[in-house]
């Protein structure tokens, strides 16, 4: 976390605690200041060193807040915040992760029932104590029971986008340690699951002791959880990402990698295939167990295990990409030589969903176009938020302004070295209506329509209506889920995909690590139903373009091939799709 983030988080916590105590207006002021500090382009610590007046130059930061910022950088804490924490010793972040539970509810439940943790909240709901609190009813209580598990799990899992960079850095670091012959990531991070319980690292080496020591000495280790002879676990970085190391002898590396990559369901299916062949697969190898009585793990003649390929080959299967290993038919496909030829990140040639400062992005049209070019794209669509449901705080752009923006996009396009599509991200209202006038939509090259509000319940009819709209080219982040925060709309993906295919509307895999929407499982259904997928980053700054890989690997989890994905086509091919 940068220091701007740190002080911003403190101010946000301050706002939550004030709100929990029933204070009005002030929490909003603190949150707005926190946001501006977070976005401030230079280190706020520098301003704090100059004094309160300098800090007060930041938008939305008044006297009371600048005093706290200076106090924080001088003493390392904010006294008033410490007092509030002592008065209200609740696990605010965990509790407010429950959908429908805000700081105010937390404050009330603490006063009435002394609830401080998720476990206490769940117990009180189960015991029917919540409905007895003034202002609460059975509905709130049921809502808590429905959502507490989701919140608990969310609290314990990191986003792929947070964890993956740690995984890649620890893999690079361990690969350079002397005595390490082989090193790879395993587990959910190797399968690119959207959220990660822990990062699994596997090493093949005969020098366990030194390898464990080098691992716990990794500069990014925050604290060591446990450290043994052939394994160790640590928390890394400020984000407390858990990293698990296992060391095996190099000859068993392939079998161990296969085993620790999972998923569990995939491994079960693989083991069952082995049993049919009188073979046994485990983390040590593949063993011929015909006539073998001994139940030792390494009993029988060892027929494979040094490489992962050898493990699958021993079972008459082709090696398959880790993203496929979710027991969704990949074992059969690998046995029948019928695996998909998966899409690669390099296949993607452009981004069709991006934002600029016209809505909530941080950059000009020109900067986004140049960023896309620098990233290596052949084309980009500019698709700022239109006004409509879900667009609060003046984020959305009116039809009139969109007309103006269209002219500017065309002017930038005329000068640009890559192709620039004009576009918009329109909102899909609860009844399926699109928030922008039809004649304007018709004048834009690329129309993304997305749900941004009312993200509960079944959204199939709503999205089907949008997919049928003649001017809509793609459905953005179809479920509207936010990983770890809200599950989003329920969808009959097959039906939506059929309608989308008929109407020439693409379905997005939004590559933003907070979303990854559609999910891999949904992509598989969509592709099978004949829909075209588009992988967009929803970039709000040029730095976001590189997140495309998270979308690509999510689509790979859905068995997508390059031909299934709109933006693997060249500009002409995309234009054809948009114009059809």
152 binds ligand DGT (CB under 6 A): no
CA distance 470 to 18: 49
In angstroms, what CA-CA distances link 147 with 99, 119, 255, 429, 484?
Answer: 6, 12, 39, 25, 11
200 binds Ca ion (CB under 5 A): yes
8 binds ligand DGT (CB under 6 A): no
Residue 450 near which of Ca ion, ligand DGT, Zn ion, none (CB within 5-8 Å, type-dependent)? Zn ion
450 binds Zn ion (CB under 5 A): yes
CB of 421 to Ca ion, least distance (A): 40
327 binds ligand DGT (CB under 6 A): no
CA distance 553 to 572: 25
- Which of 12, 198, 445, 536 is close enough to bind ligand DGT by CB under 6 A? 198
Residues 70, 52 contacting (CB under 8 angstroms): yes
Peptide bond connecting 263 to the previous residue in cis, omega within 30 degrees of 0:
yes
CB atoms within 10 A of CB 246: 18
361 binds Ca ion (CB under 5 A): no
Binding segment for ligand DGT (CB under 6 A), chosen from 24-32, 138-146, 197-205, 535-543, is 197-205
326 binds Ca ion (CB under 5 A): no
Task: Name 464's Cβ contacts closer than 8 Å, sequence gap at least 6.
Answer: 432, 495, 496, 499
423 binds ligand DGT (CB under 6 A): no
Q: Mask: binding to ligand DGT, 154-193, rule CB under 6 A, as x and -?
A: ---------------------------------xx----x
Structure tokens at 117: 């943790």
Q: Which is nearer to Zn ion, 450 or 460 (CB)?
A: 450
Residue 260 near which of Ca ion, Zn ion, ligand DGT, none (CB within 5-8 Å, type-dependent)? ligand DGT
CA distance 370 to 383: 16
- Phi first, then psi, for residue 474 (nearest 5°) are -150, 150
Task: Name 443's Cβ contacts closer than 8 Å, sequence gap at least 6.
Answer: 406, 422
CA distance 556 to 540: 24
260 binds ligand DGT (CB under 6 A): yes
28 binds ligand DGT (CB under 6 A): no
Q: Which is nearer to Zn ion, 354 or 450 (CB)?
A: 450
Structure tokens at 574: 């995309």
Half-sphere exposure of 256 (CA within 13 A, CB side): 22
Pairing state between β 350-351 and 221-227:
unpaired
CB of 293 to ligand DGT, least distance (A): 23
| Strands, E assignment, 208-343 | 221-227, 231-236, 241-248, 279-282, 285-288, 301-304
Q: Which is nearer to ligand DGT, 262 or 432 (CB)?
A: 262
Segment 267 to 296, residues that bind ligand DGT, using CB under 6 A: 267
Q: Which is nearer to Zn ion, 386 or 406 (CB)?
A: 386
Residues 36, 59 contacting (CB under 8 angstroms): yes
Size of the site for ligand DGT (CB under 6 A): 13
- Phi first, then psi, for residue 57 (nearest 5°) are -70, -25
Binding segment for ligand DGT (CB under 6 A), chosen from 224-232, 258-266, 536-544, 570-578, is 258-266
For the chain, give the longest Cα–Cα distance.
Answer: 83
CB of 325 to Ca ion, least distance (A): 13
Is the alpha carbon torsion for 563, 568, 572, 575 positive or negative?
positive
Structure tokens at 350: 């452009």
CB of 179 to ligand DGT, least distance (A): 24
CB of 157 to ligand DGT, least distance (A): 7
198 binds Ca ion (CB under 5 A): yes
CB of 424 to Zn ion, least distance (A): 11
Q: Which is nearer to ligand DGT, 197 or 389 (CB)?
A: 197
Q: Which is nearer to Ca ion, 201 or 474 (CB)?
A: 201
The residues that touch Ca ion, with contacts defined as CB under 5 A, are 187-188, 197-198, 200, 244
The residues that touch Zn ion, with contacts defined as CB under 5 A, are 450
The residues that touch ligand DGT, with contacts defined as CB under 6 A, are 187-188, 193, 196-198, 200, 259-260, 262-264, 267
């Amino acid at each position: 976390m940068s220091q701007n983030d740190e002080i911003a988080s403190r101010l946000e916590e301050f706002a939550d605690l004030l709100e929990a105590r029933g204070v009005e207006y002030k929490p909003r002021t603190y949150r707005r200041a926190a946001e501006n500090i977070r976005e401030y382009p230079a280190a706020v610590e520098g301003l704090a060193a100059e004094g309160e007046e300098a800090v007060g130059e930041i938008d939305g930061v008044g006297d009371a807040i600048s005093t706290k910022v200076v106090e924080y950088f001088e003493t390392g804490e904010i006294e008033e915040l410490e007092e509030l924490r002592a008065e209200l010793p609740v696990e605010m972040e965990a509790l407010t992760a429950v959908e429908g539970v805000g700081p105010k509810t937390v404050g009330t439940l603490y006063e009435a029932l002394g609830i401080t943790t998720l476990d206490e909240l769940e117990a009180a709901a189960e015991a029917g104590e919540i409905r007895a609190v003034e202002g609460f009813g059975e509905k709130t209580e049921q809502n808590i029971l429905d959502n507490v598990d989701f919140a608990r799990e969310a609290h314990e899992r990191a986003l792929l986008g947070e964890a993956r960079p740690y995984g890649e850095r620890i893999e690079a670091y361990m690969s350079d340690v002397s005595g390490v012959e082989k090193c790879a990531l395993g587990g959910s991070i190797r399968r690119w699951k959207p959220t990660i319980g822990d990062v699994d690292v596997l090493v093949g080496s005969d020098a366990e002791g030194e390898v464990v020591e080098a691992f716990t000495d990794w500069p990014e280790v925050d604290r060591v959880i446990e450290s043994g002879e052939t394994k160790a676990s640590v928390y890394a970085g400020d984000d407390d990402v858990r990293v698990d190391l296992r060391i095996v002898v190099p000859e068993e590396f392939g079998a161990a990698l296969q085993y620790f990559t999972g998923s569990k369901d995939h491994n079960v299916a693989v083991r069952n295939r082995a049993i049919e062949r009188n073979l046994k697969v485990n983390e040590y190898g593949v063993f011929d167990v015909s006539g073998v009585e001994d139940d030792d793990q390494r009993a029988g003649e060892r027929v494979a295990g040094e490489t992962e390929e050898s493990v699958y080959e021993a079972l008459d299967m082709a090696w398959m990409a880790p993203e496929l290993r979710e027991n969704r038919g990949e074992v059969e496909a690998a046995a029948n030589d019928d695996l998909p030829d998966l899409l690669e990140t390099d296949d993607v040639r452009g981004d069709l969903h991006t934002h600029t400062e016209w809505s909530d992005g941080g950059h000009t049209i020109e900067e986004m176009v140049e960023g896309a070019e620098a990233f290596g794209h052949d084309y980009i669509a500019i698709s700022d938020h239109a006004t409509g449901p879900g667009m609060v705080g003046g984020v959305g752009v009116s039809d009139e302004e969109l007309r103006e923006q269209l002219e500017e996009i065309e002017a930038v396009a005329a000068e640009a070295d890559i192709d620039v599509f004009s576009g918009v991200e329109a909102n899909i209202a609860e009844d399926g209506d699109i928030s922008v006038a039809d004649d304007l939509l018709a004048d834009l090259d690329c129309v993304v329509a997305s749900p941004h509000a009312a993200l509960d319940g079944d959204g199939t009819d709503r999205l089907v209506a949008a997919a049928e709209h003649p001017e809509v080219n793609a459905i953005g982040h179809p479920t509207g889920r936010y990983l770890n925060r809200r599950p989003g709309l329920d969808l009959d993906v097959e039906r939506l995909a059929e309608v989308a295919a008929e109407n020439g509307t693409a379905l997005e895999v939004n590559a933003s690590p907070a979303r990854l929407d559609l999910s891999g499982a949904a992509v598989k259904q969509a592709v099978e139903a004949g829909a075209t997928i588009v992988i967009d980053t929803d970039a709000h700054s040029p730095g976001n373009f590189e997140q495309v890989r998270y979308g690509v690997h999510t689509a790979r989890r859905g068995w997508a091939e390059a031909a299934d994905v709109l933006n693997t086509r060249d500009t002409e091919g995309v234009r054809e799709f948009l114009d059809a």
